[in-house]
Structure 1
Amino acid sequence: MTAQPPVPDNPDETADQQPATSGRSFDEVQAGERAMLRRAMRSTLLLVGALVVLGCAVGALVAGLPGVWGALVGAGLAAFFCGTTVWSMQRTVGKPPTVMAGVVMGAWLAKIVVLVVVLAVLRGADFYDPYVLFVVLAIGAIGSALLDYQAVKGARIPYVQT
């Protein structure tokens, strides 16, 4: 049999206290969120490093120097896209949800603008292989999503407030 928490005689006694978050303080929850986001950023940077090394090697074998350039451009775009998401979340830990939503949406719009500009600049250029760029970018996006999932799954952050 488990002990029930005492019920206060006056319900207003607990009105000015922060809601309990599975027995953890608000600062502990924020620390857990920051640790999870640091892990996600570290994993993303390692993924981008692997994309540069492996993408350049495979790109060189498949398409020569244009394959190397395609891998470098793809890895750069992947780093920008994936890093921006984690960075915007790191900047909004502990902020109200509307602030977080605004920052994340602003970052998403910035990503779209950068993608359009990069594609416009690269249009018609022949120094890179577009297929290698696409494959490296796709692997970066999918890999980053999986690594972010792993970071969130492994975090000890309650998602229900009682």
Structure 2
Amino acid sequence: MNYQRRTATIILNATLRWAGIIIGILAVVAAGVGYLVAGWNGLWSGLAGVLLAGLFFGLTALMMLIGARLPGDQLMSTGYFVVVMGGWFVKVVVFLVGMLVLRAQPWIVPWVFFFSAIAGALASLIVDIVVFARVRVPYVGEVPLPGSSDDSSKPPTNS
């Protein structure tokens, strides 16, 4: 795996791990607040909103990880963009169908669902920013250093 792919994998894995933790905590909070505000329907609405936001966030990172593993000599290859853009298209279709289905459900409390989905989306964005700013990724790629076992790093001899 080349340097760019390894770097992307480190960042996306850390993002998925932290987002899972934060979305889990936020789901418990949204369910509790939803229950206090609107009873059982509020609890389910809060859970649905947060989990929907977490699902869409997780799918984006997962599609990027899958795209990064495709064969090719560069991270930003055509296959990578096909996987990522195809995943986004599928997410838009699933979102529209999901909203049409959820709109007709009697147990959805619209304001609880809305605010919990917004909270989940904001939490995912904050996780992205914090992980990208704090993840430890080396600045130098796979460069042979002088004195290493790689023969290409030695200066040519005149013999």
- If the TM-score is normalised by the length of the shorter chain, which range does it land in? 0.7 to 0.9
Are the aligned partners of 1:59 and 1:68 in contact in 2 as well (CA < 8 Å)?
A: yes
Higher relative contact order (CA 8 A, sep 6+): 1
Q: Secondary structure at the match of 1:92?
A: helix
Q: Distance in 2 between matches of 1:120 and 1:89?
A: 27
* Equivalent of 1:127 in 107, 113, 116: 107
The answer to whether residue 8 in structure 2 is matched with residue 33 in structure 1 is yes
Superposition CA RMSD, Å: 2.2
Are the aligned partners of 2:67 and 2:79 in contact in 1 as well (CA < 8 Å)?
A: yes
Residue type matched to 1:102 in 2?
V
Are the aligned partners of 2:5 and 2:75 in contact in 1 as well (CA < 8 Å)?
A: no
Residue type matched to 1:139 in 2?
A
Residue of structure 2 equivalent to 1:57: 32
The answer to whether residue 56 in structure 2 is matched with residue 76 in structure 1 is no
TM-score between both structures, scaled by the size of structure 2: 0.76
Q: Distance in 1 between matches of 2:120 and 2:10?
A: 22
Residue of structure 2 equivalent to 1:10: none
Q: Could you tell me which runs of 5 or more consecutive residues in structure 1 were left unpaired when the two chains were aligned.
A: 1-25
Gap change, CA 1:47 and 1:35, over 3 Å in 2: same
Gap change, CA 1:150 and 1:45, over 3 Å in 2: same
Q: Could you tell me which runs of 5 or more consecutive residues in structure 2 were left unpaired when the two chains were aligned.
A: 69-73, 141-159
Residue of structure 2 equivalent to 1:3: none
Q: Distance in 2 between matches of 1:89 and 1:140?
A: 20
Residue type matched to 1:151 in 2?
V
